[in-house]
A and B are shown apart, each in its own frame.
Chain A
Amino acid sequence: MRYDAIVVGSGITGGWAAKELTEAGLTVLMIERGREIRHQQDYTTETKAPWDLPFRGLGDAELYRQQYPVQMLNRHFTEFTQGHFVNDAENPYTTEGDTAFTWFRSYQLGGRSLTWGRQTYRWSDYDFGANLRDGHGTDWPIRYADLAPWYDKVEEFIGVSGTAEGLKQLPDGRFQPGMALNAVESHVRETVRARWPERCLTIGRTANLTQAKPEEGRGPCQYRSICARGCSYGAYFSTQSSTLPAARKTGRLTVITDAVVEGLDYDATTRRVTGVRWIETKTKTRRRATSRIVFLNAGAFNSVHILLNSANEAAPQGLANSSGVLGTHIMDHANTLSALALMPGWEGHTSFGNRPTGAIVARYRNMDTMDGAGHSRGYSFQGGAFQTTWSAGRRDAGIGADYKEKLRHPGMWRMVLVGFADCVPRAANRLTLDRARTDTNGLPVLNVQFAFGKEEHAALAQAKADAAEMLAAAGGQVIAGSDQPGPGGTAIHEMGGARMGHDPKTSVLNRWSQAHDAANLFVTDGAQMSSSACQNPSLTYMALTARACDAAVSMLRDGRI
């Protein structure tokens, strides 16, 4: 089998690679390790009510403890969505020493594009310049201007609702109308803005449509907020709703599911990848195909796994690893509930519908003034105000008719601010192959070594104080808050491991997401990231993928690869 391009993975970036490469005229083989999930037809729990399910939507906790001990910690993991997450027992990984790392995964067609939080933010030059400025990690070989047109392209296609705010640290994009803040959030926005003009609370920029995209068969959001079950309206961006149909329309896409890539073949003479090898998981049969270019989009950690597992005589430390930095400098946002407050005085207000995004407070520290206490980067908040419902009754004494009557009505407004702190890239935070343990396909499992450092702890301490003072200023009674990050992986923004850089001696990829050691190999998922910023990374992955596809096609046409 020979194709122009092979794309490994079908998630947020794999879908984009398949779309861009097929639309440019290339024949593409997309290889997905998990099962097929068809848009609309296979969202089996989408319209179910809690009373239709054996465990009422909470799921079988005993089963989860045994089979899904990591995935069950994900807030989006429920009885409705468990089919969109991996079985941990069947997909093991190991951790090194004291490492606590929760690796949330979705092995299926569409990958985590089906279950993602859909938060969609541009990065700025505060982010692309961060490593150069404070000396952590290696300098990004690109800046905002390199990516801006690709952000435009991606936003217009996937559909992003949001409100333009003119912030330098969080550049505006090509937005559909933003969803509205509720009454309490609007009040907090105005209060905070009056007292701290540099702090902007705005609606989450989200890949949920507020206007239909009929040309792509996608309808507007129905305000159900059950996205991770799968959305037959196609109202949020997923591979299934958006990039896969576009790639299929070209007639040049071949998709294989239930096929886990074992490694890439490499010719040291030509310095080219010469083939992709995979195992059909249902039959345990080995297969191989060749192509002119290869895009790795298996998800940050799994793309690194493939490269490490592709070691051969010419590349004994792993493919594209002459630098020795492959697997190092992994990151995830340090993430915690910075503040939770009761918001009295809003009992006369309520809302209708389930908005599928919260509010955010954009970064405001360490921009033009270095005002971080013990850290040199940024943090931002995501959260929002909501009214409680029946589940709040578990905290209250009482039984009987009066108790029931109280739970019949919406409870008091609350507001949460969850802090996301920039994670400094460190060499000691790294992925290796655990040669002592293999998975059901006989492949070595991934070993994760990860810890947050003093910078992240300092940032979350300042975030906790800031969050409390903002909510208190708006009349809130702060009842909880933390400055301790959850385990690595909590933010589900694990990234790095095949970082981009200027120098082949200290980085894996160049400015085109192209391997320094193999000109026809591109890694365009989270693995390529050289720093983490403090905003959600998926949009940047997509823009980098579209940009790398354009570069790869040009290089192919010019005969350079």
Chain B
Amino acid sequence: MGGAALLALALGIPAAAVRLSDLPDEDAPSDRQRSLLREVSQLVIPRTDTPGAGDVGTGDFLALALAHGLSGSRAPVASAAMPNLMRHLRPDGSLRHVDWLEHELDRRAGGDFLAPKADRVRALTALDAEAYAQGADDHPWRTIKTLVLTGYYTSEAGGSRELRYELVPGRWDPDLPATPQTRAFSSDWTAVDFG
């Protein structure tokens, strides 16, 4: 049994969800990168009364998703706009998001994002603010954050405990009262598609 399968067992998530062992070496994350992706996922969606994104394997999903180009993550990047991306490009012009993120967060944390004393929330919040500033639409952090959301809200905990999941609604109620407590449905496919 490979490392990925062991990890899946440990986390209690379906093995189908994790296939890191199938990735080519150049896209396989290092152990440190896996820790970093898990931590970043957990910072975006922390544990509250439901699990956080890191808790449910979103870090490894990120590595898989970024290697396989989900959410456009293997499209060639316009590196002229962000010269600091240059060193992390693949020969086809796409960005090695994991390498970039590791470098970027280490830099912002003064050397080691995963160090016990590092202010990780501050570093990631600053990166997030830059990525969502006016005119930063193509920022690679947006792609990564999009995939954190995907990884979490399509996990069983994110999809059916944090949100509601109803495969067979059985009826259509066109107009119901909503309150600030109303929970969204992860199984509202139209909303997921067009949201």
Contact of A352 among B17, B131, B171 (CB under 8 A): B171
B191 beta carbon closer than 8 Å to chain A: yes
Say yes or no: A348-B178 contact (C-beta < 8 A), given A390-B186, A399-B125. Answer: yes
What CA separation (Å) do A387 and B173 show in the bound complex? 14
From residue B31, how far is it (CB to closest CB) to chain A in Å? 22
A391 beta carbon closer than 8 Å to chain B: yes
From residue B70, how far is it (CB to closest CB) to chain A in Å? 5
Contact of A391 among B13, B176, B195 (CB under 8 A): B195
Q: Which B67-117 residues sit within 8 Å CB-CB of chain A? A: 67-74
B174 A351 Cβ-Cβ under 8 A? yes
- Which of B65, B168, B184 is most buried by chain A, counting CB atoms within 10 A of its CB? B184
Q: Contact flags (1/0) for A400-413 with B, using CB distance below 8 Å? A: 11011101111100
A559 beta carbon closer than 8 Å to chain B: no
Q: Which residues of chain B are within 8 angstroms of A351 by Cβ–Cβ distance?
A: 172-176
A54 B169 Cβ-Cβ under 8 A? no
From residue B151, how far is it (CB to closest CB) to chain A in Å? 7
B184 A410 Cβ-Cβ under 8 A? yes
From residue B69, how far is it (CB to closest CB) to chain A in Å? 4
From residue A58, how far is it (CB to closest CB) to chain B in Å? 5
B167 A224 Cβ-Cβ under 8 A? yes
Could you say which of A13-21, A174-182, A295-303, A499-507 contacts chain B?
A: A174-182
A150 beta carbon closer than 8 Å to chain B: no
Q: Which residues of chain B are within 8 angstroms of A390 by Cβ–Cβ distance?
A: 149, 153, 158, 163, 184, 186, 192, 195
Q: Which B151-179 residues sit within 8 Å CB-CB of chain A? A: 151, 153-156, 158-160, 162-163, 165, 167-178
Q: Which residues of chain A are within 8 angstroms of B70 by Cβ–Cβ distance?
A: 55, 58, 61
From residue B36, how far is it (CB to closest CB) to chain A in Å? 15
Contact of B170 among A63, A223, A393 (CB under 8 A): A223
Could you say which of A27-35, A45-53, A245-253 contacts chain B?
A: A45-53
Residue of A nearest to B56 (CB): A51
Residue of B nearest to A387 (CB): B191
B168 A224 Cβ-Cβ under 8 A? yes
A49 B167 Cβ-Cβ under 8 A? yes
Q: Contact flags (1/0) for A380-391 with B, using CB distance below 8 Å? A: 000010111111
B192 A394 Cβ-Cβ under 8 A? no
Number of residues on chain A facing chain B (CB within 8 A): 63
Q: Which B111-142 residues sit within 8 Å CB-CB of chain A? A: 121, 124-125, 128-129, 131-132, 142
What CA separation (Å) do A399 and B120 show in the bound complex? 12
From residue A187, how far is it (CB to closest CB) to chain B in Å? 10
B191 A51 Cβ-Cβ under 8 A? no
A65 beta carbon closer than 8 Å to chain B: yes
Say yes or no: A53-B16 contact (C-beta < 8 A), given A223-B169, A353-B169, A411-B195. Answer: yes
B192 A52 Cβ-Cβ under 8 A? no
A51 B170 Cβ-Cβ under 8 A? no
- Which of B61, B176, B177, B180 is most buried by chain A, counting CB atoms within 10 A of its CB? B176
Number of residues on chain B facing chain A (CB within 8 A): 72
From residue A450, how far is it (CB to closest CB) to chain B in Å? 26
What CA separation (Å) do A397 and B141 show in the bound complex? 11
A165 beta carbon closer than 8 Å to chain B: no
Contact of A408 among B142, B163, B190 (CB under 8 A): B163
Contact of B184 among A47, A401, A408 (CB under 8 A): A408
Residue of A nearest to B194 (CB): A386
A399 B124 Cβ-Cβ under 8 A? yes
A222 B170 Cβ-Cβ under 8 A? yes
Contact of A349 among B45, B151, B162, B175 (CB under 8 A): B175
From residue A288, how far is it (CB to closest CB) to chain B in Å? 45
- Which of A49, A388, A399, A410 is most buried by chain B, counting CB atoms within 10 A of its CB? A399
A347 beta carbon closer than 8 Å to chain B: yes
B180 A225 Cβ-Cβ under 8 A? no
Say yes or no: A51-B156 contact (C-beta < 8 A), given A349-B177, A401-B46. Answer: yes
A389 B195 Cβ-Cβ under 8 A? yes
What CA separation (Å) do A387 and B189 show in the bound complex? 11
Contact of B174 among A63, A182, A387, A399 (CB under 8 A): A182
Say yes or no: A353-B155 contact (C-beta < 8 A), given A51-B13, A58-B150, A407-B184. Answer: no
A57 beta carbon closer than 8 Å to chain B: yes
Q: Which residues of chain B are within 8 angstroms of A47 by Cβ–Cβ distance?
A: 167
Residue of A nearest to B151 (CB): A56
B19 beta carbon closer than 8 Å to chain A: yes
What CA separation (Å) do A75 and B192 show in the bound complex? 12
What CA separation (Å) do A54 and B145 show in the bound complex? 19
Residue of A nearest to B48 (CB): A401
B193 beta carbon closer than 8 Å to chain A: yes
- Which of A180, A353, A384 is most buried by chain B, counting CB atoms within 10 A of its CB? A353
A403 B169 Cβ-Cβ under 8 A? no
Residue of B nearest to A226 (CB): B189
B35 beta carbon closer than 8 Å to chain A: no
What CA separation (Å) do A391 and B145 show in the bound complex? 11
B159 A403 Cβ-Cβ under 8 A? no
B172 A403 Cβ-Cβ under 8 A? no
Q: Which residues of chain B are within 8 angstroms of A294 by Cβ–Cβ distance?
A: none
From residue B22, how far is it (CB to closest CB) to chain A in Å? 9
A60 B68 Cβ-Cβ under 8 A? yes
Residue of B nearest to A64 (CB): B69
From residue B107, how far is it (CB to closest CB) to chain A in Å? 18
A394 B142 Cβ-Cβ under 8 A? yes
What CA separation (Å) do A131 and B66 show in the bound complex? 51
A55 B121 Cβ-Cβ under 8 A? no
What CA separation (Å) do A288 and B146 show in the bound complex? 54
From residue A232, how far is it (CB to closest CB) to chain B in Å? 11
What CA separation (Å) do A404 and B45 show in the bound complex? 6
What CA separation (Å) do A353 and B171 show in the bound complex? 6
B48 A222 Cβ-Cβ under 8 A? no
Contact of A353 among B124, B158, B170, B177 (CB under 8 A): B170
Q: Which residues of chain A are within 8 angstroms of B145 by Cβ–Cβ distance?
A: 393-394, 399
A416 beta carbon closer than 8 Å to chain B: yes
Residue of A nearest to B67 (CB): A62
B172 A179 Cβ-Cβ under 8 A? yes
Q: Which residues of chain A are within 8 angstroms of B13 by Cβ–Cβ distance?
A: 51
Contact of B173 among A53, A352, A401 (CB under 8 A): A352
Q: Which residues of chain B are within 8 angstroms of A75 by Cβ–Cβ distance?
A: 193
Q: Which 8 A-B pairs have the closest CB atoms?
A: A397-B132, A388-B195, A50-B154, A353-B169, A56-B154, A350-B178, A61-B69, A353-B172
A residues contacting B by CB (< 8 A) are: 47, 49-58, 60-63, 65, 75, 179-183, 186, 222-226, 347-355, 384, 386-394, 396-401, 403-405, 407-411, 414, 416
Contacts A222-B169, A394-B142 known; list 4 others, CB within 8 Å. Answer: A223-B172, A347-B178, A400-B46, A404-B48
21 A-B pairs within 8 Å (CB atoms) are namely A49-B159, A50-B159, A51-B17, A55-B64, A61-B69, A61-B71, A179-B174, A180-B172, A222-B169, A348-B178, A384-B190, A386-B188, A387-B184, A391-B192, A397-B132, A399-B124, A404-B162, A405-B48, A408-B183, A409-B180, A411-B195
